[in-house]
Structure 1
């Protein structure tokens, strides 16, 4: 009986060693961004708070200019959209919201800002430009 128990223990140990050797590598921690940031203009600061759960990564970007928007991690980039109600006056005299979409690389803090030349008015052209954030605190 002792010989059978020893063989079972040895077999279990061998299987455990094989399983550990072929186990998938651990996933890297999600790229969180938390703190206060500036784009070079110390008068306009963003406070970013992010977190990740099994259902995905989300956060909030708040500005000292009075706005706060949700952020989501998509394709390794933090994405958020700033909406300014009545941010544009259209050719017909009506008001339309101004939308500014941003995508930010959490590793480099480099990003892309995309706007429509007419905001939400008809006939605009989408343009994208790079931007760089710097952590203040």
Structure 2
């Protein structure tokens, strides 16, 4: 009887540990409405994970939408802004804006690249902090 109880306890403990490990390994989803510090840009985000990975979409109150994917624990998406950069010569050029968000801290980085449209190219990176609203 003691051996049977020990075996049952061991199976139960192993199952609990396996469940805890899988719960820890589950990626953090971003779902809801989020804003940055100035609250001018508000994003509505929906994400899900399935057999082939994690995907989602983000829509901005500024009129754009973008698909997003989870890579290395961070949600990533990009948007092309037609007049995103002002070059040294005063001309406007498109910018590819890439955004990466840590779902645990809601901290992120916005990277903007002129793709060489401005002479010499322009690359900028700016950290930001989201908050759920």
TM-score range, shorter chain: 0.7 to 0.9
Taking the TM superposition and a 5 Å limit, the aligned residue runs for 1:31-50 are: 31-50=28-47
Equivalent pairs, count: 123
Task: Output one character per residue of 1:21-68: Cα deviation in whole Å (capped at 9) or x when no partner.
Answer: 498532432210111111122232111111110100011111011000
Other structure's SS at 1:26 match: helix
Task: Output one character per residue of 1:2-28: Cα deviation in whole Å (capped at 9) or x when no partner.
Answer: xxxxxxxx8xxx6xx57x749853243
Report the alpha carbon displacement of residue 85 of structure 1 after superposing the two structures with TM.
2.9
RMSD over aligned Cα, in angstroms? Answer: 3.1
Distance 1:131 1:123 in 2: 26
Q: Say yes or no: does 1:65 pair with 2:62.
A: yes
State TM-score, norm by structure 2: 0.74
State TM-score, norm by structure 1: 0.72
Gaps of 5+ in 1: 1-9
Gaps of 5+ in 2: none
Distance 2:68 2:99 in 1: 10
